[in-house]
Amino acid sequence: MTVLFFQISSPVYFLHLCHGRDLRRHQLSVDPPRQVPHPILFPPLPFTPSSQQDCRPATFRPAGHKSRISSTLARESSPAPVQMEAEPTRLLRPDSFGRFGKFGGKYVPETLMHALSELESAFHALAVDEEFQKELSGILRDYVGRESPLYFAERLSEHYRRPNGEGSLVYLKREDLNHTGSHKINNAIGQALLAKRLGKKRIIAETGAGQHGVATATVCARFGLECIVYMGAQDMERQALNVFRMRLLGAEVRPVHSGTATLKDATSEAIRDWVTNVESTHYILGSVAGPHPYPMMVREFHAVIGKETRRQALEKWGGKPDILVACVGGGSNAMGLFHEFVGDEDVRLIGVEAAGFGLDSGKHAATLSKGEVGVLHGAMSYLLQDQDGQIIEPHSISAGLDYPGVGPEHSFLKDIGRAEYHSVTDEEALEAFKRVSRLEGIIPALETSHALAYLEKLCPDLPNGTKVVVNCSGRGDKDVHTAIKHLKV
Amino acid sequence: MTCNVQNYVLLTNKIYTKRTQASNPERSRSLPSASSFRVVCAVEEQTSTSTSIALNRISMPLDMEISEEKKKKKSLGEVGGGKFGRYGGKYVPETLITCLAKLEAEFNLVLHDPDFQAELTMALRDYVGRETPLYFAKRLTNHYKDEYGEGPEIYIKREDLNHGGSHKMNNAIAQAMIAKRMGRTSVMASTGAGQHGVATAAACAKLSLKCTVFMGTTDMEKQSSNVLLMNLLGAEVKPVKGNFKDASSQAIREWVGSLETSYYLTGTVVGPHPCPSMVREFQSVIGKETRTQAMEKWGGKPDVLVACVGSGSNALGFFHEFVEDQDVRLIGVEAAGFGLDSGKHAATLARGEVGVYHGAMSYLLQDSEGQIQRPHSVGVGLEYPGVSPELSFLKDNGRAEFYTATDKEAIEAYERLCRLEGIFPALEAAHAFAYLEKLCPTLPNGTRVVVNCSGRGYKDAARVFDILGHPS
């Protein structure tokens, strides 16, 4: 089992990115659920903030105690196994330890534990804060441009109609119409507002292709917060224009030269910065991955997608969607759409990952299809790792799906069978990109094109009149040059 | 009536043929002889025509009866024949007169057709993403506060959030629906910056219409990403040597050759009647929403409206609703390019003179011999030598004020809006934001200014990067 150590200044703790497989002994017991007041925007949460309950892991050591992470994670006491309830879908999402079944959790050094609990308490407090909710919905409406429409894709539905005239009805949830062109802003706004409430003046983020970096820099400009974005030096060269955009927005873009100088190295550097400056700094994580409370928080900020969809579906056809389809990289847009409907057993949830050059080629990013359980970036989830526990470098034509891990909640939904996960290749995604552009005049992001590509396999066998809602998570203006190169239009 | 028109038309045709033979012997060779004309329903069907002559005004506009309804429009300056005072009109060859009349009839029908309106409203809501928000720009407002903490309140009408990234889609989708309704199978359009081309291509893809977009070769080089977008959306982009004015002439030329099956989708409030009125009506949703939203937000009307002016579609769409409200100031901002005295600008209302261009009478940038001057602006969508006849009218009667902003001021405004609000305005819209620097210090405390952010400028970052030559 190989571990990566990152030396940081005092206190001397090591950030451990553990890629091990055999972590069953790290499972913790599940506490019984506790009720909190029903908030306006967020659903009832199954646990009380940490100020009222000690939800630290059993082997927590007091602050100041020096320790090597590898022993922290090699627990001295063997915890009790997870007690599963009879009906899996009633399981807490997440429980008091931030776990979704066995996935999730808080695999971080002690320095960050306090920051994470503080974040969690603040989040729960704001969930019931009317003023905060009002401010957030005002910004989502006037700045982001919500609510995004639920658009009936007539020509696309016609394309899937069978010769006998029967077929499904395809609807697109238009997250591409949001300010900055994708769903990412929902979470960036929520977290920036949260950081302001916490009195943090400094925001950090990491970015690969630049999309999340630009979204973060955008909200920081809007709120007047100092913004530092970590980006791999190699990525900076390839994405010079996005670097310029972030600088125009007033952010500082710091190059990372260590390792392969790409996203995972930028992530480590960002975490290092956060550990050092945790009092003044908030780390805006872009997806439903990372240590608790991030997966839950990011999901809650994106849950507006699913909530709107429910209301719009009722308005349009007086019922619920039958199937929800979304692309899965880290999993934020999918969780945002699915979350509202997880309790509705009659709604099928389908996540589509990137199969790159094909699942057997070894060059893909289909974590849930081909990955194994391990810990990455603070959470237990499926991840693409080899026999030695080394991260396999993922590949996808779309930068946003190019992530070797996946949100822990997705791992959980897969394991309990509540959601299905499939994958499509680069080529299929490009075809879908072209198809939807030609049929609907909507150019989807290459990430979204993966979800749209899956319709080719899904729609032919659906009963007549099935209502399929696809999350159009982003617009494809940014992907035009890539697509043209491959499609030779 | 028919008899009179017939005579009139035949009479005009003779003059037409004579003049062309005299002035341009080379061109007259391509014109058919009088015997090849067929008169059908009092309008000639010519087998070929040279549009460049056609667009040079030769025939006088037809006088039409002024109905009661149209008399009501006198306050807005609009009377029969699409005239705004002395501006506007239908300075086109006879072949196009029937076509334009049919278009006007169809337009009047759809205005009062509840089914069409319902379908259009749904398309605007679900496809285009309306209504666009009226956003209070807090940090920009603070920027304009003086040392006593006083200053106007700045609101931004977010047309940048539309599908396609600009206000152009409002018009494109409505006209594409009209084209389908009229049974046309293909659509032609001409575009300068490419925004209208992209909007048209998207609307045609959605409505399964064949789409051909004409674009000048110089514009195609500058806006290559828009060309790629149009290709992806299934449109054919035909290059025309020159820039927008050459592209639109070529587009009309080709359209005239297939009047029965194709529809010419105008992008802006210029051209012969009914095009300016039609486009204005479809863009007026911007102003209508602003009125409702202002009422909701502060229980009143805006005090000042500011919009950039190229040919004038976003400005008119914004202003039209408030033209009769005398207490609302209307400010249009044109492109001063390298400066009004440099000769490299696109400030038609500031420096132009009255003439006829593309079928309508209006201000236009022309030299002493009546030759069209080539406009320049960093905001490519503002590079049009003409301007809307209705705006010319509003300028002359003092209802609207027009100022200018240079390239440098526009780029500064672009950077300012990014830094303070996290919004990338299109370089065209940045001209409107640039004018706030001069406007705001003169306004009383609490004045409500609404700026129309007519498009997004995410792509313009590349242009700004090139111009500035370094990351900021």
Does a structural domain hold residue B23? no
Residues B306 and B429 in one domain: yes
CATH of A100-141+184-294 given 3.30.413.10, 3.40.50.1100, 3.40.50.300, 3.30.70.20? 3.40.50.1100
Residues B247 and B378 in one domain: no
- Local structure of A178: helix, strand or coil: coil
Domain final position from B220, B238, B271:
B271
Domain final position from B255, B271, B287:
B271
- Interface residue B418 vs chain A (CB under 8 A): yes
Residues B381 and B242 in one domain: no
In this prediction, residue B415 carries a pLDDT of 96
Average predicted confidence (pLDDT) for chain A: 83
Instruction: At B45, give phi and psi (nearest 5°).
Output: -105, 105
Among the ranges given (A221-230, A344-353, B98-107, B156-165), the one the predictor scored with the smallest mean pLDDT: B98-107
Tokens 């977009």, located at residue = B213
Are A455 and A170 in contact by the 8 Å Cβ rule? The answer is yes
Give the integer Cα–Cα distance in Å for A64 and A66. Answer: 6
Q: What percent of chain B has pLDDT over 70?
A: 82
Does a structural domain hold residue B27? no
Give the integer Cα–Cα distance in Å for B426 and A63. Answer: 51
Are B163 and B202 in contact by the 8 Å Cβ rule? The answer is yes
CATH number, domain with residue B212: 3.40.50.1100
Residues B416 and B281 in one domain: yes
- Local structure of A451: helix, strand or coil: helix
- pLDDT tens for B340-386 read 999 899 999 999 999 998 889 999 998 888 888 889 999 988 988 99
Query: Is A7 exposed, middle or buried, given 0-12, 13-18 or 19+ CB atoms closer than 10 A?
Result: exposed
How many Cβ atoms sit within 10 Å of the Cβ of residue A202?
18
A146-180+303-486: which CATH architecture?
A: 3-Layer(aba) Sandwich (3.40)
Does a structural domain hold residue B87? no
Residues B265 and B385 in one domain: no
- Interface residue B408 vs chain A (CB under 8 A): no
- Cβ <8 Å between A218 and B165: no
pLDDT at B471 over 80: no
Domain housing B107: 93-127+168-271
In this prediction, residue B197 carries a pLDDT of 95
In this prediction, residue A229 carries a pLDDT of 96
Residues B347 and B265 in one domain: no
Residues B413 and B283 in one domain: yes
- Strands A467-472, A419-425: pairing is unpaired
Q: What percent of chain B has pLDDT over 90?
A: 63
Looking at this predicted complex, what is its ipTM?
A: 0.82
Domain final position from B239, B271, B303:
B271
Residues B370 and B280 in one domain: yes
* Sequence spans of domains, chain A: 100-141+184-294, 146-180+303-486
pTM of the model: 0.83
Give the integer Cα–Cα distance in Å for A266 and A230. Answer: 5
Residues B242 and B217 in one domain: yes
Facing A247 at nearest CB: one of B129, B163, B472 = B472
Residues B245 and B352 in one domain: no
- Cβ <8 Å between A248 and B461: yes
- Cβ <8 Å between A149 and B461: no
Query: Is A346 exposed, middle or buried, given 0-12, 13-18 or 19+ CB atoms closer than 10 A?
Result: exposed
Total of domains in chain B? 2
- Cβ <8 Å between A247 and B135: no
Instruction: For chains A and B, count residue pairs whose Cβ atoms are closer than 8 Å.
Output: 120
Residues B262 and B282 in one domain: no
- Chain B residues whose beta carbon lies within 8 Å of the beta carbon of residue A193: none
